Amino acid sequence: MEYVISVLLSGISVGGQYALIAIGYTLVYGILRLINFAHGDVFMVAGLMGIYFTATLPVTASVPLVIFLTVVLGFTIERAAYKPLRGAPRMSVMISAIGVSYLLQNTATYVTGGQPMTYPVIPFLSDTVNVAGTQTKWVVIITPFLVLILVFALSLLIGRTKVGMAMRAVSKDFETSRLMGIKINSVISVTFIIGSALAAVGSVLFFTNYPAITPTAGAMPGLKAFVAAVFGGIGSIPGAVIGAFLIGICETIIKGLPSSWDVSVFSDAFTFALLIIILIFKPQGLFGEAATDKV
Amino acid sequence: MVQKKRSYTALIGITVLLLFVILLENLGNFIPGLPQVLTPTSPLFTVLKKAAVYSLVAVSMNLLNGFTGLFSLGQAGFMLLGAYTYAILTVPTAQKEQVYYLFEGCAFDFSLVDMFEGIFGNHGAGGAIAMILACLLALILAGCVAGFFAYLIGFPVLRLKSDYLAIATLGFAEILRAIFQWQKLGKVTNGANMIKGFPTFTNFNITDSSGAVILRLSTFVPFLISSLCIVVIVLLINSSYGRAFKSIRDDEVAAEAMGISLFKHKMLSFVISSFFAGVGGALFAMYVANAQAKAFTSVMTYEILLIVVIGGIGSVSGSVLATFLYVACSEWWLRFLDSEQYIGNIKVPLLRNGFRMVVFSVVIMVIVLFFSQGIMGNREISLGALIRKFSPKKERKQ
């Protein structure tokens, strides 16, 4: 029983962390129809920045700084690598995204010297707490609530503000919303800013619970978050969050199965199997609108 | 007529290239005191071997991405299948116990090398024939296994479009990687450990009875196999199937209206591309002298994709050219960026382990953003045109 609770708790927390990344994917895909392969690496860079800043600055100063710089990074990537290709075929933009991902990973290897970096202990988040007889970290408890608060704030932003309205319009129809006087470029920038900020928050939560950061640490969570976004219906924020929680829980369950079965190697593969099943049977995802351009 | 003449020129060109490779490799036997670059241990030959292997994979990816317009990212998965098929089939039975020691031997006691050596004997000319036939058969089977899996995967995946196809094939590659690392299959795949002990490129060097090398063929072999495969791909691209592929790339709806069966041709392209990726994977295993699932990550696919982009999407010769440039830069010419350098007494800033890859990725980004055509765009290098271009100068010299 205690084992089940601890698996579920960490599943929910991993799911929450995926959710924060998945929102970045789903927003960008909804507007640009681009799988932003670099998003997972932005997440990784945020983690590395967290390590370097907490070494010199107090946590209260370094976390906001990390979020701010990740936003700047996301904004710069969009302006430098995606904006020049706005009229180009979708394949070119995706190749550019892969190129950015390659660049970020290689730069991270250069800066860290390729060594795995340990994430600093953040007071309170890293402290242990006793829940129903199992020892766990505070971050595990806090993550789902924080995710829900952030998602609530985000849905207010998208549903109630002018920027949000513009974002919805652009995701419905790129060309028409441009004709209606919406400044496409600033809407896209806002999307990247939101996505990067959430990824930065996600990185603080994810890596607190994780032994070390390597330059490729972002790729797998990134892909999984993308699968979560597809699972929930791309473009739908609640869908992405629910998909992420499901994937997080399933993954921890697979990892927690008896070691004699030896199936933990499939914890990543499972996510992709799920993706393929979803794409075949319900390509619009759980909450997505029926679109015709996927299949 | 023109077509025929062009194929003759190409054929002669490839033969000359292959002969040149043999000559280059064996210069040390004729001329003592060669410069370091031409000795068998020089990075030149590592680059040539690796580039020959990679160019086949790059061309196979280009067939799919550049000529059929299917954006697939599953190349590493098919390479993995090819590498493992080749390795499992050719590890000599005598070595199996040692290779699979963690799993107390391999599940099946069979090796193509042993089988052919049983027929032709294991030394002298018979041994050579046995080795060649075993490797050749294993390479073909490696391609077939990869192609067969592509056929199975193709049914669900090829209905998807652009980025969804990309992520689904990437997913399949990751699933394959997990399966091959599964300890439960250890008797076949050796789990997460590497398989080694199978024939590699160096086994093709001709030695005398004392073991001294008479004729080096370890660079020639990958060149030969790659160029054969690439010639087959080029012939395919120039056939009516190739034209159907290109029409699908340019406009699916129009192609279908012209009576081209979309699914059939997409599947054909996917299977053939995977076949050659499988052969390429087997060659890669021969190059690194081991097969390990850990090596075939999505990063490898990205690397090959970027090579294709640098060479020009839709140009076979561009892909080959880009592969040689890319491999030469990353393995040889830009190596100096990874270690500290001094100009006079001043230390050059920034140079340290990993800087080479940063420079590399910046160059790649510049190409992707500003030279989206790559080196060749969708043109091809034509040997005839090159000769015509350079021949007047020669006349003037005479």
Longest dimension (CA), chain B: 71
pLDDT at A294 over 50: no
Per-chain mean pLDDT for chain B: 86
Averaged over A237-263, what is the pLDDT? Answer: 86
Tally of domains within chain A? 1
| B314 chain-A contacts, CB cut-off 8 A | none
**Alpha-carbon distance A286 to B358, whole Å?**
40
For residue A124, being part of any structural domain is answered with: no
Write the residue in A102, A223, A275 that is nearest to B302 by C-beta.
Answer: A102
| A109 chain-B contacts, CB cut-off 8 A | 354, 357
Inform me whether the C-beta atom of residue A284 falls under 8 Å from chain B C-beta atoms: no
Enclosing domain of residue A250: 2-108+132-281
pLDDT tier, B398 (very low <50, low <70, confident <90, very high otherwise): very low
CB pair distance less than 8 Å for B161 and A295:
yes
For tokens 């490898």, the residue is: B300
Tokens for A57, please give them.
């600055």
pLDDT at A292: 47
ipTM over 0.90: no
| A33 chain-B contacts, CB cut-off 8 A | 163
Give the H/E segment covering residue B207: strand B206-207
**Alpha-carbon distance B319 to B308, whole Å?**
5
pLDDT at B396: 45
Q: How many CB pairs under 8 A join A and B?
A: 132
Q: Which residues contact A114 (CB under 8 A, 6 or more apart)?
A: A214, A215, B353, B354
Inform me whether the C-beta atom of residue B346 falls under 8 Å from chain A C-beta atoms: no
| B343 CA: distance to closest CA in chain A (Å) | 22
Find, among B104, B103, B78, B106, the residue nearest to B92 by Cα.
Answer: B106
Q: Distance between terminal CA atoms of chain B?
A: 31
Question: Length of chain B in residues, anyone?
Answer: 398
| A102 chain-B contacts, CB cut-off 8 A | 299, 302, 306, 361, 364
pLDDT tens-digit profile of A11-46? 888 899 999 999 988 888 888 888 888 999 999 999
Report in angstroms the alpha-carbon separations of A269 from A69, A255, B114, B337. Answer: 33, 12, 36, 37
Q: Where are the alpha helices (DSSP H) in chain B?
A: 2-30, 43-62, 75-90, 93-99, 112-120, 124-157, 162-180, 186-189, 220-238, 240-250, 252-257, 262-288, 298-311, 316-328, 355-370, 383-397
Residue of B nearest to A36 (CA): B163
pLDDT at B351 over 80: no
pLDDT at B323 over 80: yes
CB proximity under 8 Å: B 44-83 to A: 65, 71
pLDDT at B1: 57
| B167 chain-A contacts, CB cut-off 8 A | 35, 223, 226-227, 230, 275
Residue by residue, DSSP assigns B57-76 as HHHHHHIIIIIS------HH
The proportion of chain B whose per-residue pLDDT surpasses 90, expressed as a percent, equals 39
CB A284 within 8 A of CB A294: yes
CB pair distance less than 8 Å for B361 and A279:
no
| B369 CA: distance to closest CA in chain A (Å) | 7
CB pair distance less than 8 Å for B298 and A273:
no
Tokens for B134, please give them.
């075993």
- Residue B231, beta-bridge partner list: none
Q: Give me the CATH number covering residue A22.
A: 1.10.3470
**Alpha-carbon distance B291 to B299, whole Å?**
17
pLDDT tens-digit profile of B167-191? 899 999 999 999 998 888 888 888 8
Q: Alpha-carbon dihedral of residues B306, B311, B317, B321, nearest 10 degrees?
A: -90
pLDDT at B270: 96
Averaged over B140-166, what is the pLDDT? Answer: 90
Residue of A nearest to B374 (CA): A92
CB pair distance less than 8 Å for B354 and A110:
yes
| B166 chain-A contacts, CB cut-off 8 A | 35, 94
What is the 3 state secondary structure string of chain A? CHHHHHHHHHHHHHHHHHHHHHHHHHHHHHHHCCCCCCHHHHHHHHHHHHHHHHHHCCHHHHHHHHHHHHHHHHHHHHHHHHHHHCCCCHHHHHHHHHHHHHHHHHHHHHHHCCCCEECCCCCCCCCEEEECCEEEEHHHHHHHHHHHHHHHHHHHHHHHCHHHHHHHHHHHCHHHHHHCCCCHHHHHHHHHHHHHHHHHHHHHHHHHCCCEECCCCCHHHHHHHHHHHHHHCCCCHHHHHHHHHHHHHHHHHHHHCCCCCCCHHHHHHHHHHHHHHHHHHCCCCCCCCCCCCCC
For residue A114, being part of any structural domain is answered with: no
Q: How far is CA B232 from the centre of its chain?
A: 14
